[in-house]
Amino acid sequence: MNTLKGKTLFITGASRGIGLAIAKRAARDGANVVIAAKTAEPHPKLPGTIYSAAEEIEKAGGKALPLMVDIRFEDQLQTAVKQAVERFGGIDILVNNASAISLTGTLETPMKKFDLMFGVNVRGTYATTQACLPELLKAKNPHVLTLSPPLNMKPKWFENHVAYTMAKYGMSMCVLGMAEEFRDRGVAFNALWPRTVIATAAINMIGGQDMMEASRTPEIMADAAHLILTRDSRSSTGNFFIDEDLLRETGVTDFSKYLVKPGTEPMQDFFLD
């Protein structure tokens, strides 16, 4: 059970960062990966495109299908699912990784930015899940993994960026509700969140080089995701996993290999006490 060989993963936002790391870890097992992301042309500030990601996935040992998809649009999702099924015969796993972030207060968050976060994080997660479910329900060990935090109602997690927190918690509420809704039908719904800040393009834009150097690499999230996605879907659902805790449970004690800058103490992430 601890391999994803021959499984088909549909990963949103997999052209870079954590999504790409999860894709490459699955590819090492010989998985098929549908890269559902927006970046088809190189971006001036962000690394990677769906095509460069596809190359990396194939190099790692998997098969890739790069699809330009904006998950805010239902028709694009329906088309992508259809193409995934035509190419690989079905979908076994969905990873809801795509997310928009703006750590801004109420007066500093234009409604356009609010709509983007709700469109991608909440609506996008819901719509992608809905589009993939008919295929997941036919799969042998179906998993939906959403990169969102445990629900923590302490005001301090809302006060400085209420819009972003609501949008991320909307993703978590999808996990909470759908885990129960599909428990008897065998589809696992779990969330995964990092204990520390992870070095991604978003973090670079928020905190620059200093924050990047106080981060862990996306590979820690990829290794944790792999542990979840290889579990029995009927007996592991409705969990809000933290990467480090999950890896500790399996005997990992040394996390230094995940440090961006060796010898640094990584910074704790949001939403965790």
| Strand ranges of the sheet holding 8-12, from the earlier edge strand across to the other edge | 63-68, 32-37, 8-12, 93-96, 143-146, 188-193, 240-242
Q: Are 23 and 35 in contact (CB under 8 A)?
A: yes
Query: In terms of DSSP bridges, do strands 188-193 and 143-146 run parallel, antiparallel, or are they unpaired?
Result: parallel
Residues 6+ apart with CB under 8 A from 56: 20, 23, 24
Task: Indicate the helix (H) or strand (E) that contains 192.
Answer: strand 188-193
Structure tokens at 152: 């923590």
Catalytic residue among 51, 126, 164, 169: 164
Look up tokens 């709509």; give the residue: 115
User: String of b and e for 91-128 (b: at least 16 CB within 10 Å)?
Assistant: bbbbbbbbbbbbebeeeebeeebbebbbbbbbbbbbbb
> Is there a catalytic annotation at residue 51?
no
SS3 state at 167: helix
Strand partners, 259: 216
Helices (H) and strands (E) in the chain, counts: 9, 7
Q: Are 95 and 68 in contact (CB under 8 A)?
A: no
So which residues are the catalytic ones? Answer: 164
